[in-house]
Structure 1
Amino acid sequence: MATPPQPQQQGAGPYNPYGAPVPQQGGQAGPWHAGPQPYGAYGAHPEPGRYGCRLCGAWPAAHATVRGHQGLIVLMRFLSLPGPFCRDCGLATYRRMSSDTLWQGWWGPLSVFITPVTLLMNLGPRASFRRLAPPAGGYRPALDPGKPLWRRAPFLLLLTPALLVLLAVPALVVVGLVAGEPQLTSGQCVRNEGSWTDQDLEVLSCASPRAEYRVTERPDTPGARCAPTDYVSDPKYGRDEFTTFCLTRLR
C-alpha cells in the first residue's frame, strides 16, 4: 500500500514572520534564512503593527512630537514635527528645534511667555528618545544628534544675560555698601552739596578749601546742644540712621 503524501507546512517561505529557518529537502535551511535578517531587508519588523522612525526607518521608535516657536514681532509661528523617531533622529530633531527656538522665539510680546513653555514641552519627547535602544535596521543612516543643547551657541547666548542678572544683585549690594551715605563721626569736615532740607554731605579733609563744616557734638547726647549758628545733620548720616550731629561752619 502506498504511503499518503504528507501535508505541506503552513507559513513556510522567505517571508516567514517569525524569521525561523524553513525546512527544505534534506533538512537544510534555505540560504535566505542563514541568519538573523535586518528589518527592511526580507526580514520581519521586530514588533508587527508598529512603524519605524519617520526619518530613517530604524527601530525602535517612539511616538512623540517635537515643537518649536518663532516670534515675529507682531506675528508668531508654532512649529511641530510629529514622530515616530528613533533615538538618534529624535535627539537630533529635539536639539535642532529647541536650539532654533532659543534664539528665534523671543521676538514678540506674547512669544516671551510662549517660548519657555515650548522648551519645557520638549523635555517630555527628549526623555522618551533617551530611553530607546540604539537604532537598527533603517533604510538610511540615522541623524547625528550633535552637541547637547547646553553646549550650543544659542543656549550660551541666553545663559550670559541670565548670569549677569544673577551677579548684578550681589554687585548692587556691594556697591550700595561701599558707595552709600557716609557715616559721620565727631571731628570730620564735610561739604553740603544739597539744600538743608535735602542734604547731600560729602566728607572732606579739614585742610581742603572745599570743606565748609566741622562735625561737632551730637545734639542727642545728654547735656549737648548745637550752637545757634550750627546746622543739624540728617539722621541718614548716622550709624543707625537715627543719630544726628552738629555741623559748625569753619569760616
Structure 2
Amino acid sequence: MRFLSLRGPFCRDCGLSTVRDMSARTLWQGWWGPLSVVITPITLLANLAPWGRFRKLAAPVGGFRPALAPGRPLTRRPEALVFLVPMLLVAVAIPALFVTGLVVGDGSAPTLPVGACVRNEGNWADQDLQVIDCGAPGAEYKVTGRLEKAGSTCEGGDYLADPKYGPDGATISCLEPLH
C-alpha cells in the first residue's frame, strides 16, 4: 500500500487531468491489500475535494507551457470498470440471494406425518428428525400422533418430538420406538 500525492500550482485542465489519472490508478491498483478495501473508497472520496476546486477555476490562459488535456472523465475510463463491475455484481447479488431465499425456502417448519418413520440425526436434546422408509435399517421411531392441544400427552411410552416439527412450530409429534 502506498499513498501518493502531487503538490504544485495547477491550472484547471492540468489539475483535472492529474486528479483523473491518479483516481483511475487508485481504482485499478488500490484494492490489492486487506486494508485497502476500506482505504481505497476513502481515498477516492478525498479526491473529490481537489476535483471540485479544479472545476471551479477559469480556463487556462497563457502560461509557459501548454495545459494538459483533462482526458476522459473517470467513469468513462477502463480502470473504472475494475471498480464498477464488482460493485454492480454485489448490488445485483444481494437482492438475488434474498429473492432466491424467498422462492426456495418458505421458512415453515417441517411436519412429521402420522404413520411415518423417522430417525434422529442429532442427539435427543437437539433433534434432527428425518423421515425415512419404515423398513430401512436406520428407522428408529414411528410417528403415532400429534398433540395439538395444550396439556395433551402421548400414550404409553411414546416420546415427544421437538415442537419445531409441527406445522406452526408448536404442534408436538408422538414417537413410538421401533426397537
- TM-score, normalised by the number of residues in structure 2: 0.68
- In the other structure, the counterpart of 2:129 is 201
Q: CA deviation at 1:120?
A: 1.4
In 2: Cα distance, 1:126 partner to 1:96 partner: 11
RMSD of Structure 2 on Structure 1 (CA): 3.8
**C-alpha deviations, 1:38-81, integer Å up to 9, x for none?**
xxxxxxxxxxxxxxxxxxxxxxxxxxxxxxxxx1xxxxx32111
Give 5+ residue unaligned stretches, structure 1: 1-70, 72-76
Q: Secondary structure at the match of 1:143?
A: coil
Q: Please state which structure has a larger fraction of its residues in helix.
A: 2
Within the candidate set 69, 81, 86, 1:143 is matched to 69
State whether structure 2 residue 30 is matched by structure 1 residue 102.
Answer: no
- TM-score, normalised by the number of residues in structure 1: 0.52
- Contact in 1 for aligned 2:160/2:172 (Cα 8 Å): yes
Paired residues, what number?
A: 174
In 1: Cα distance, 2:66 partner to 2:109 partner: 73
**C-alpha deviations, 1:81-107, integer Å up to 9, x for none?**
124333333222112111212233344
- Contact in 1 for aligned 2:112/2:131 (Cα 8 Å): no
Q: Which moved more, 1:158-167 or 1:190-199?
A: 158-167
The alpha-carbon distance between structure 1 residues 125 and 172, as it changes in their structure 2 partners (threshold 3 A), is same
State whether structure 2 residue 118 is matched by structure 1 residue 187.
Answer: no
- Contact in 1 for aligned 2:160/2:175 (Cα 8 Å): yes
- In the other structure, the counterpart of 1:121 is 46
- Counterpart residue identity of residue 140, structure 1: P
- In the other structure, the counterpart of 1:178 is 105
Q: CA deviation at 1:122?
A: 0.7
Q: Which moved more, 1:233-242 or 1:92-101?
A: 233-242
- In the other structure, the counterpart of 2:15 is 90
Q: CA deviation at 1:233?
A: 1.6
In 1: Cα distance, 2:57 partner to 2:37 partner: 33
Larger Rg: 1
- Counterpart residue identity of residue 143, structure 1: A
